[in-house]
Amino acid sequence: MTIKTLFEPYILGSLILSNRIVMAPLTRNRAGAGFVPGDLAAEYYGQRASAGLLISEATQISRQGQGYQDTPGIYTQAQIDGWRKVTTAVHARGGRIFLQLWHVGRVSHVDLQENGAAPVAPSAIRAQTKTFANNGFVDVSEPRALELDELPGIVEDFRKAAANAIAAGFDGVEIHGANGYLLDQFAKDGANVRTDAYGGSVENRARLMIEVAAAVVQEVGAERTGIRISPVSPANDVSSSDAQAQFDYIVDQLNALGIVYIHVVEGATGGPRDVAPFDFGSLRRRFKNTYIANNGYNLELATSRLAEDKADLFAFGRPFIANPDLVERLKTSAPLAAVDPTTIYGGGAAGYTDYPAIAAQDGR
């Protein structure tokens, strides 16, 4: 019997990944003027290119899609050019990188919206959560419900953003359908009380997410399209009364589209894995391509879940912040550096690109 390991190559669509370890999306709030990623971002991602796959920080598809201060976009030429420096740095070190496409929906603040506009949402229900704006965490603003005739424009923004990502040199894109942002808001009935074709039934609440996925597949190809979902995570004040039925249906539709992976937050984002009953194995069985498991994974848990064939790839988040060479540290059982929580969001090189690799610490 062949024993799988986290450190063996893995075929993802048309890509050969050097290992099964994924760097999860990590918001760092360091974009420059015009929401453009700068030279520091290229250095940061390049330092972490030994991951089998890097998934970029969440990146807004439009001005309206922004919900946090100093997060990058992918809707202007300057942003495309900035991201091209990142993909060049990653590819120069043999890495692979997808861009995460983001519309925050109601998780925003009027100070971050153009002309102080209200954030948009499936329904005019204010989330009991905070966002990072004006150099601190503040309550999100009251949203307005999107009109039916605005939804094709949202889908088109995702499509254009996917095309821009490929123009910037990314190997593919990950649609952000998780953590209480716009597509997740539509999917979950705690945030969506619409009575039109995008609300009510499981099928209707899934509609926008599936339309976005179909548009992105049509634009860049199924082998370059992944999606992140979080069926039971209460992140950003979302809830679902029928999570199993909802996400079994969503994954069936994604499987039919042939997208290359689903990236699943198992449990509460950054919290308990057992926050609510849910059969993640059902999603694994329904989806024929790659299953990326996320949430609370360490070497021991990832190794055991791989041996049980519960997932193909494993996403690590915060450990990558302080350990640019996380793959090597895991492989050699080297100690992991601790994250400085005061430098996670915003700032410059401190706490971003100045965490050393263990070889540098050893003087090698």
In whole angstroms, give the CA distance from residue 163 to residue 145.
27
Cβ proximity of 141 and 108 under 8 Å = yes
Rg (CA), the chain: 19
Residue 181 bears catalytic tag: yes
Cβ proximity of 155 and 217 under 8 Å = no
What are 101's two structure tokens? 């496409």
Other CB atoms closer than 10 Å to residue 274's CB: what's the count? 11
**Side chain identity at residue 70, one-letter code:** D
Cβ proximity of 233 and 268 under 8 Å = yes
Question: What is the total residue count of the chain?
Answer: 364
How do strand 225-229 and strand 261-265 relate by DSSP bridges? parallel
User: Which one of the listed residues 10, 75, 181, 198 is annotated catalytic?
Assistant: 181
Give the list of residues 6+ apart from residue 231 with CB closer than 8 angstroms, or none: 240, 243, 244, 246, 247, 264, 265, 278, 280, 283
Q: How far is CA 111 from CA 69, 252, 280, in A?
A: 9, 39, 38
Catalytic residues: 181
